[in-house]
Amino acid sequence: MGLGAMGLPMATRLALGHRTVNAYDIDPARRELVAEHGAAPCGSAREAASGAGTVIVAVRDSAQLGQVLWGSDGVADVLPPGAAVVLTSTIGVDAVRTVAGRLSEQSLHLVDAPVSGGPVRAGEGELLITVGATDEAWELSQPVLEELASTLTRIGPEPGAGQAMKTVNQLLCGVHIAAAAEALALADALGLDQQAALETLMAGAAESFMLGDRGPRAIRAYDDDTEVRSRLDIFVKDMAIVNTAARATGLAAPVAAAAEQLFLLGSAQGKGASDDSSVITVIAPRPNR
C-alpha cells in the first residue's frame, strides 16, 4: 500500500522473489511503474489486500495510514484474522500505539517497522529496519522484512519501539542534512568549488552518509530539474516528531530544534515538495557562483 519514493522500490524488491506482490497507489502512474517490475497492480486498496497474510504500508503520515486502514477503501475489513500490517512509515510512538490497539480489536497485528536508507537501498534490500512487534507478529513479518533489510533489529516486543528508535535516527538524519547544506553553502560563500569541497570532505573525518547522498543534490538545488528523492516536507514532519518526543521526556534538543526551523522555513517558502537537500536554498537563497 503506497508506491511512493520508498514503497515502489520495496514492492519491486519483493517482486524479485517467489512471492506474489499485489500493489496499490492512488496514482495510476505509480501502479503502471510497479507493473513494469513484476508486481501486480490493483485497482483498489481492498482488491490488493483481500485475503493477504501480510500488508506492507508505506504512507506519508498517520492521516494517510488511517485512510489506508479504515477509509472508504480501507483494507482492515478485508484482511483475514491474524494478518500482519507492516507499517514502514515514521508517524511517532503515540500514533502507532493507537493504531495497534484498534487493529488488535479486529484480530490483526501491527508490526511497527519504520525504514531508513532511501530509495536506492530499498530497491537493493539494504534498508535499516527497526521493529517493535509482539512475538507472533514478529514471526509473521520477519521473512518479508529480511528481504528488504541489510540490518533488521527487533527493538522491543510491542509496537512503538520501532518508532522510538526511528525518532532517534531521524534526529541525526535531519541534523546531518541541515549541516551538510550549511557546510556546502559556506564553501560556496568562501569562493570554493562546491564539488571539490564535497569530494574533499567525503575523504576525511567530516564524511557522513547524508553529506555524500544529499551533497550532490544540494549543489544542484538551484536548478529547476533537481531530482526529488526525499521531500523536504517529510523532514518537517519527522523533526516535529523528534522535538515533540524530546519535550515529552524533558530533554533539551537545541540542535534538532534549529534543524527543524530550517525545514519549516523551506516549507513556508513553498519548497515542501522539493528534495530535502534544497534546504541549502533557505540558508543561501542565491548561489555565490
Q: What is the pLDDT of residues 266-282, one digit of tens each?
A: 999 999 999 999 999 99
What DSSP state is assigned to residue 78?
G
Please check whether residues 101 and 188 belong to one and the same domain. Answer: no
Please check whether residues 148 and 173 belong to one and the same domain. Answer: no
Q: What is the pLDDT of residues 148-175, one digit of tens each?
A: 999 999 999 999 999 999 999 999 999 9
pLDDT at 282: 97
Q: What is the pLDDT of residues 252-269, one digit of tens each?
A: 999 999 999 999 999 999
Of the pLDDT bands very low, low, confident and very high (cuts 50, 70, 90), residue 19 is confident
Whether 166 is a known active-site residue: answer yes
Q: Are 22 and 49 in contact (CB under 8 A)?
A: yes
CA-to-CA distance for 8 and 43, rounded, in angstroms? 16
Please check whether residues 26 and 122 belong to one and the same domain. Answer: yes
Q: Are 114 and 65 in contact (CB under 8 A)?
A: no
Q: What is the pLDDT of residues 29-77, one digit of tens each?
A: 999 999 999 999 999 999 999 999 999 999 999 999 999 999 999 999 9
Please check whether residues 216 and 278 belong to one and the same domain. Answer: yes
pLDDT higher than threshold 80 for residue 226:
no
Q: What's the CATH code of the domain at 207?
A: 1.10.1040.10
Neighbours of 224 (CB within 10 A): 4
Is residue 245 domain-resident? yes
Pairing label, strands 127-132, 115-116: antiparallel
> What's the number of domains the chain is made of?
2
Residue in 82, 144, 127 with CA at minimum distance from that of residue 107: 82
Please check whether residues 120 and 196 belong to one and the same domain. Answer: no
Residues of the domain holding 203: 164-283
Q: What's the CATH code of the domain at 105?
A: 3.40.50.720
- pTM metric for this prediction: 0.91
Whole-number Cα distances in Å, 62 to 4, 59, 81, 186: 16, 8, 23, 37
Q: Which of 30, 166, 217, 271 is catalytic?
A: 166
Last residue of a domain, one of 158, 173, 199: 158
pLDDT higher than threshold 80 for residue 11:
yes
Please check whether residues 207 and 98 belong to one and the same domain. Answer: no
Please check whether residues 220 and 261 belong to one and the same domain. Answer: yes
Please check whether residues 135 and 176 belong to one and the same domain. Answer: no
Q: Cell match 528508535: residue?
A: 165
Whole-number Cα distances in Å, 285 to 181, 269, 281: 12, 11, 5
